[in-house]
Every structure is written in C-alpha cells, then in structure tokens.
Amino acid sequence: MHNLPRLVLGAAAVSSLIIIACGAPPRDRVLDILPDNPTGQIGGTPWTMTKASVRRSGQDGGTLDVKLFGMDVADCASSSPDAGYIIFNMPAKVGKRTLQLSLSDLGGPDNQTITFVTPPSSNNIAVDGVLNVTEVTQTSLTMGLLAKGGKTTDVNGTFTATFCQ
C-alpha cells in the first residue's frame, strides 16, 4: 500500500514528460481570423479590402475565383492597375483550407496558395495561412482569410461577397 502513492506520482511525472516532449496540439489558425473586413499590407503598403470580385464556375459545387481589391474598382473587376490586390482560386465549399504548396505534387488537390499582386508586375505567393469558407449560397460567399507572404505582405479578415454574373 505504501508504494501506491509513489506509483501514482511516477505515472503523473511520465505523463507530464510525454506532454512536454510532444508539445501541445497545434492551434487552429482559423481562430486567429479577425471578424472585420480584411486588412494588412501588400509590399509594405497598408491595405484594406474595399471590394471583392468573386466568380463561381464548374460542377459539383464548383470553383471560386476570388479577387480582393483595396480601392474602388468596377464591379467584377479582374485587376487593378493602380494598387495592390489579392487573387486566388479554391473549391466552392464550406470549410478551411490551409495554405500550402507541394512542388512534388503541383496539381494536387491539397495545394492552396494566394497571390498578392503589386502592379505593374510583382507577385508574392503566400503559402503561410488559412482560408475559411463559412457560407456558400446560390448568390454569395462568406469567408475569412489569414495569410502571410513575407515580412511586408499579409492579410487578415472576413468578408461577404455576391457572385459576379
């Protein structure tokens, strides 16, 4: 009976060492997406989304073609010659997609990047972050994004956009 307390303490110590050695489970980055309009910086210049251009195409839910602009542009614009913007494609379904790129499987379904465009011709491809679609209807999309493309390029926030026709 006297060994039981030592046995319990020993088991607790071993459990603690295993937890410390393995580390805590990784934090779900979706929890870090801000509920506000996407904001950040593109190439070191402050940026806040003012307009989204989202097209939906394809079968079985389809694909989203997303463009986020930091200045007023025409409805359903495809680019902005005067200011930085963000572009990406992704499946049109609710859920999160971690940004990642596997060079050994370029066409793989798990690859997901976003591109920060700085006109006239500079692109910064981000593979650090997460996209989180919370709602897709027949006419609109609500999603959040958190992405980092180096020290001077990042975005964080949530938006709702009506699909372009």
The pLDDT value recorded for residue 19 is 47
- Tell me the mean pLDDT in the region 137-152: 94
Give SS3 for 148. strand
The pLDDT value recorded for residue 119 is 82
Name residues whose C-beta falls within 8 Å of residue 147's C-beta, 6 or more positions apart in sequence.
Answer: 99, 114, 126, 128, 129, 130, 131, 154, 155, 156
pLDDT of 73 > 60? The answer is yes
| Vertex 54 angle, CA 48 and 58, to 5° | 155
DSSP state of 81: S
The pLDDT value recorded for residue 6 is 55
Question: pLDDT above 90 covers what percent of the chain?
Answer: 55
Rg over CA atoms, the chain: 21
- Tell me the mean pLDDT in the region 136-154: 94
pLDDT digits (tens, 9 = 90+) for 10-54: 444 444 444 455 677 778 878 899 999 999 999 899 999 999 999
- Check: CB of residue 88 under 8 Å from CB of residue 129: no
